[in-house]
Structure 1
Amino acid sequence: MFLEEKYLLNRLTYNFIHDYECNIVLINNRSSEVWLEKKIKGKSHLIRIIQRSFDWQNRLKQEVDLTIENVKKLKRLIIGRSVHVHNVYIATHPPVDEWEYLKKPISIKDNKFTTMNVYYLDEDNREYEAKRLHDNIGIDYKPVEFPNTEIEMEQLTHYLKTLIDSEYQKNIKETEKLFQNGKPVITYLLLIANILMYIVLDINGGSTNPEVLVNYGAKYNPAIIDGEWWRIISSMFLHIGSLHLFMNMLALFYVGTAVERMYGSTRYSIIYFLAGIVGGLSSFAFSPQIAAGASGALFGLFGALLFFGINYKRVFFQTMGWNVIFVIILNILCGLLVPSIDNSAHMGGLLGGFIASSIVFFPKKKKWFVQLISFIVYIGIISGLILYGLSNTSVEMDETLQLQRTQELIEAEKFDEVVEITSKAIKYSNDTINYSSDYEAELLFYRSFALIQLDDLNKAKKDLEKVVMINPDMAEAHYNLAILFLDEGNSEKAISHAKTALELQPDNRSFADFHQRLLNEG
C-alpha cells in the first residue's frame, strides 16, 4: 500500500502541474511533501500534498496546527492577499477515532491566508476526497488510474517523480538566470564618477556652494532656458553635501547592482540615463530651485524593478517586491513632507525608468509593439516636459537662490557677475507677478553696490532711487544714496537721505556720524 500512496502523491502532483498549470512553490523530498499554487478568478489556492498516516485524531490535529504555522512562514513565496490553503494527506488508513470534524474549513488568523481545508485520501475515500479537493479549488476532477502491476506502478512513480523534480529544478534555474544577465560594471563606474565629481566640487569651493554647483553643471533653470540643456545630464553626477552623496551612492550600490544583473549592462545604462533625463526635465518643468544628484536616475532603477515585477510577479514578490514598494512609498512621503526634496525629479525618474525598461525590455526577449509604443510615449513625455518648462514662468527663477548667489559673488568680489545675475533676475521679476517687490528691491540694492565698486556711479544712483521708491524703509539704500549725492555735490539731497537712514536706524553709529558730518559741513 505504501507504493500506491507514493504513486498517488506523484500522479496528483503531476496532474496539478501539467493539466491545471499549478506552480511549484516548494518540494521537500525528505518528507515526501509538495507545495503548489494555483490562481483562479482572482483567488489564490495553496495546495500542500504529503504522504503521511495517523493512527489517532489528536496526532492529526497537532500536524494540522503545525501546518498552519508553517503556512505563515511561506508568505513571501505566495502571491495574493486572499489565499485558501488545501492540506492534502495521502494515507492507507484514517485515524481510528473521531476526526471528521477537521474537514470543516479552518480559519487562519492572518492578513494573507484566510482558510484551510483538510483532505484525507485513505484507501476507502480517495475518490471522494480527491473530487472534494478539485471542487473546492474550482477545477474539473479527473479520476486517477492506477497501473495493473506493482512493477509498472513503481516504474511510473519513478518516472513521474523525475518529471516533477526536473520541472522544479528548471524553475529554479530559470529564476536564477533572471539575475545573471550582467555584472555590475556600469554601477561601479557610476559610483566612481559621482565620488570623483564630489571631490572636484569640494576642492573648488564646496558642494553646498550654489555658485560652484552652477559652474560645474547643476540643474539651473535660467541657464537651461538660455540653451544649456546638457545640465540635465551633468547634474546627475553632482551632489549637494556629503550626506546626499552617501545616501544616493548607497542606493546605487544596492539597487544598481540588482538592476544591472537583471537587464545587463547595456540595457541598464540606457534605463539609467533615460530615467535621469526625465527626472531632470521634471525638475526643470516644476521646480525653480537649483538641483543636483542621481536621485532621478535612482528612482528610474526602482521603476525598472517595478517593470520586472509586472512581468515576473512571483519572482519579484518572493525576492524584493514589498521592500521595493515600501522604499518607493517612503521616499514619496519624504518628498511631500520635506520641502527641500525635489519630488518632481523623483516621480519623473520613476516613470522614466519604468518606460525606459519597457523600451529596452529584457535580455533575449522582444515585444516590438510594446517597445515601439513605449518609445513613442517616452518622446511624448520629454517633449511635454520641455514645452511646459519653457512656458511655466513660475519656475524660471528661484528667489532665495538668486539672492544667495549674489551675496556670495559680492563676498568673492566678482562684481561683473553680480551685475549680470541681478540684471537677469530684475528683468524676470518685472515680467512676473509671482515675485515680491521686496525681492526686486534687494536685487537692485545688490546691483547698485556692485556698480559702485565698478565705478559706474550714475547707474548705481538710479538703482538706489528705485530701491527707496519700492522700499522706503531700507536704511542702507538711503545711506548709499546720501554718499553718492555728496560726491555729486548735492548736499541738500545727501543730508535728506542721511537723515532718513538715521531715522530708520537711530542706533546705527555710522549713520549718526555721517549725518552729523553733513550737517557740520553744510
Structure 2
Amino acid sequence: MDVLQHDLFYWQLVNHLVTQRGYRVIEMNPNLNEIWLEEEVPQSPKILRVVRKDVNWSNRLKEDMNNTLVKFNGLRRQLSFRKVTAENIYVSTYSPVDSWEHLINDPLTIAQDKTVMNTYLIEADDENKARELERLKIDLHTSQDKVMSNDFYALEEMEGRIKTLRNEVLQKAEERLQAEQAIFKFGKPFFTYLLLISVAVMFVLLELNGGSMRILTLVEYGAKYNPLIEAGEYWRLFTAMFLHIGFLHFFMNSLALFYLGSAVERIFGSWRFLFIYIIAGLSGSIASFAFNDQVAAGASGAIFGCFGALLHFGINHRKLFFRTMGMSVIVILIINLSLGFLVPMIDNGAHIGGLVGGFLASFVVQLPKRRFKIKQLLFFVLVAALGYGLFLFGMINDQKSGAPIVHLQLSQELLEENEYEKAYSLLLTVKERQLDIAELYFLLGYTEVHLNKYEEAEKNFKRTVEMRPEFHEAHYNLALIYVHFEQEDKALQAVQQALVYSPTEEHYVQLREKLER
C-alpha cells in the first residue's frame, strides 16, 4: 500500500509541475517512472528530473547522481543556457539503508559551475515530503488534490487517480508538442518550389545561349552590371536573383534554397516568405551594386535573407529555435560569412545585404498571428530608406572592388563576337578613369585596328609594351601596323622583339621570314 501511495504522490508531483506550473516535458522513459522537465523562464532557467525509484544503497545513489549531473550539463548546452540550476528529485519509498544525507547536503557542479544540481530524496513519510517540498518551493496544497496525504484513498481509487494524473500529463505534453509543431507547419513551400523551377529554367536558358560562365550572356539575360544599372536598367537588381554563374553555383544555391526557403515558408507562410525573399534579394543586389563592380548573379542574397528570417524567428521563439535548428543555422551562417571574407571571388556584400534585408523584412511582415501595424509600417519605411540610401551611395562610389577588370573581360567577349563598336565604347569608358592597365591599351589597339583607326592603335600598342615589355602579342600587332604603314624596318624590329618573348610562335616566325625576304 505504501508503494502505491508513493506512486500516486509521484504523479501528483509531476502533474502539478506540468499542468499548473507550466513545466515543459523534455523526455520521458518508456516506463514513465523518470521524467525530465524544463521551466521556461528566460531569466532563471531550470531543469528538473523527477524519478520514481527506490534507492537502497548510498553508493548507487551517488553513481546515479553523477550520471545525472553529466546529462543535466548536456541538456544545458543543448538548450543553449549559459548557466542553469538543475533539480534532481528522487521519489523513493524508503531512504538508503546506509549513510546518505551527506550526498544531498551540498549541490554538485560541473563545467566551471555552469551547471548546478541540487538533489532531493522524498520518502513516503509525510514529514519528509513536507520538508523536501519546502526545499523545492513546491506547494502541493494548492494543487487539485488539496492535500499531500493519500491515506484516505482506497486501492482502486488510487489506481484510478494515478491513471487520471498520468493521462493529464501525457495529454499536456502532447498538446504542447503539437502546438510547437504547428509553428513549423503554418505554410506549404509553394513559392520555394516555384522559385527553384524558375532558377533551373534560367540556368538551362543561359547554357543554351552561350553558357552561364560567359559574361556577355549573363549581361544579356539580366545579370547585375553596374554601368547598365547606372544608365537606368534598374530591373537588373531583380533579374540577377534568377541567374547563376556555372553549375556549382546553381546547384549549391538551389540546395540552400530548397532547405532554407522551405523552412522559412513553412514558418512564415507563402506570401510573407515571398516578400522576405524579394526584399532580401533586392537588398543583396543593391549592396553588390554599391560595393562591387563585378558582374554578379545568383540567389545568394535572397538565401541569406532566409537566414535573417530564421534569426527573427529565433528572437521570438528563442527556446524553440535553439532546441530545433538554432545552433545549426548560426554555425552555417558564420561559416558562409567567413568564407566570404576569405575568398575574394565571393560577393560578401550581397550576402550581408541579403542577410540584413531579410532580417528587417521579417519585422515588416511579422510571424503569423502577430500584428504590430505601427511597428510594421516603421520597419517598412526603414527598409525602403536603407535600400534607397545604399543605392544612392552605389551611384557615387567610384572605389568599388573588382573595377575595371570586369569591363575588360566583357570587352574581350564582345570582340570575340565581332562587336567592335560596343567593345570600343566600353573600353573608352574604362580609359576615362585614367587607369594604367596594359590589357586596356592592348584591347583598345586591337579594336582600333578592326575599326581602321591605325594611328590610334599604334599609340596604344606602344603604350602597352612600355608598360609591359614582355607583352609579345602587342609587339606582334605593332609589327602588323607597321606593315600596313609600309614601314618594314620597324615591322621587322617589332616582330623580332615579339620572338624574344615567344620564340616558337609560328605566326611571328612567318612574319619575320616574310619581312626578311
Normalising by the smaller structure, the TM-score range is 0.7 to 0.9
Query: Whole-Å Cα distance in 2 between the matches of residues 276 and 422 of structure 1?
Result: 30
- Cross-structure match for 1:201: 206
- Secondary structure of the residue aligned to 1:118 is strand
- Secondary structure of the residue aligned to 1:380 is helix
Q: How does 1:448-467 map to 2 (within 5 A)?
A: 448-461=445-458, 463-464=460-461
The count of residues paired between Structure 1 and Structure 2 equals 504
**Structure 1 residue 357 corresponds to structure 2 residue 362:** yes
> Deviations for 1:386-425, whole angstroms, at most 9, x for unmatched residues?
0111111012863322222222332332222221221222
CA contact (8 A) 2:283 2:354 kept: yes
> Deviations for 1:345-379, whole angstroms, at most 9, x for unmatched residues?
11111111111111111122212233223212211
Listed as ranges, the gaps of 5+ residues in structure 2 are none
**Structure 1 residue 499 corresponds to structure 2 residue 493:** yes
Amino acid at match of 1:277: L
Structure 2 CA distance for partners of 1:350 and 1:50, relative to 1, 3 Å: same
Query: Whole-Å Cα distance in 2 between the matches of residues 486 and 221 of structure 1?
Result: 40
> Deviations for 1:79-137, whole angstroms, at most 9, x for unmatched residues?
41322221112233212211112204454545896232210122132222222223xxx
**Structure 1 residue 46 corresponds to structure 2 residue 47:** yes
Which of 180, 186, 193 lines up with 1:175 in the alignment?
180
Which of 144, 148, 159 lines up with 1:146 in the alignment?
148
Structure 2 CA distance for partners of 1:112 and 1:331, relative to 1, 3 Å: farther
Query: Whole-Å Cα distance in 2 between the matches of residues 512 and 55 of structure 1?
Result: 100
Query: Whole-Å Cα distance in 1 between the matches of residues 372 and 113 of structure 2?
Result: 34
- Secondary structure of the residue aligned to 1:393 is coil
- Cross-structure match for 2:133: 130
Percent of paired sites with the same residue: 36
| 1:475 Cα deviation from its structure 2 partner | 5.9
- Secondary structure of the residue aligned to 2:81 is coil
Query: Whole-Å Cα distance in 2 between the matches of residues 393 and 47 of structure 1?
Result: 60
- Cross-structure match for 2:333: 328
CA contact (8 A) 2:482 2:490 kept: no
Query: Whole-Å Cα distance in 2 between the matches of residues 270 and 308 of structure 1?
Result: 16
- Cross-structure match for 1:102: 103
CA contact (8 A) 1:506 1:512 kept: no
CA contact (8 A) 1:282 1:348 kept: yes
Q: How does 1:219-238 map to 2 (within 5 A)?
A: 219-238=224-243
**Structure 1 residue 425 corresponds to structure 2 residue 419:** no
Query: Whole-Å Cα distance in 2 between the matches of residues 290 and 112 of structure 1?
Result: 53
Amino acid at match of 2:130: E
**Structure 1 residue 253 corresponds to structure 2 residue 258:** yes
Q: How does 1:8-19 map to 2 (within 5 A)?
A: 8-17=9-18
- Secondary structure of the residue aligned to 2:399 is helix
- Cross-structure match for 1:90: 91
Q: How does 1:18-417 map to 2 (within 5 A)?
A: 21-28=22-29, 30-38=31-39, 42-68=43-69, 70-71=71-72, 74=75, 78-105=79-106, 107=108, 109-110=110-111, 114-122=115-123, 123=125, 124-134=127-137, 145-146=147-148, 149-150=152-153, 161=166, 163-395=168-400, 398-417=403-422
| 1:482 Cα deviation from its structure 2 partner | 5.5
- Cross-structure match for 1:137: none
> Deviations for 1:160-209, whole angstroms, at most 9, x for unmatched residues?
55554443222111101111112212111111111111111111111111
Query: Whole-Å Cα distance in 1 between the matches of residues 173 and 500 of structure 2?
Result: 87
Listed as ranges, the gaps of 5+ residues in structure 1 are 135-139, 431-435
Amino acid at match of 2:329: V
CA contact (8 A) 1:182 1:260 kept: yes
| 1:320 Cα deviation from its structure 2 partner | 1.0
Deviation larger for 376-385 or 105-114? 105-114
Amino acid at match of 1:238: L
- Cross-structure match for 1:433: none
CA contact (8 A) 2:279 2:357 kept: yes
Amino acid at match of 1:446: L
Query: Whole-Å Cα distance in 1 between the matches of residues 365 and 400 of structure 2?
Result: 33
TM-score w.r.t. length of structure 2: 0.86
- Cross-structure match for 1:443: 440
| 1:478 Cα deviation from its structure 2 partner | 5.8
Query: Whole-Å Cα distance in 1 between the matches of residues 471 and 90 of structure 2?
Result: 88
Amino acid at match of 1:202: E
Structure 2 CA distance for partners of 1:108 and 1:241, relative to 1, 3 Å: farther
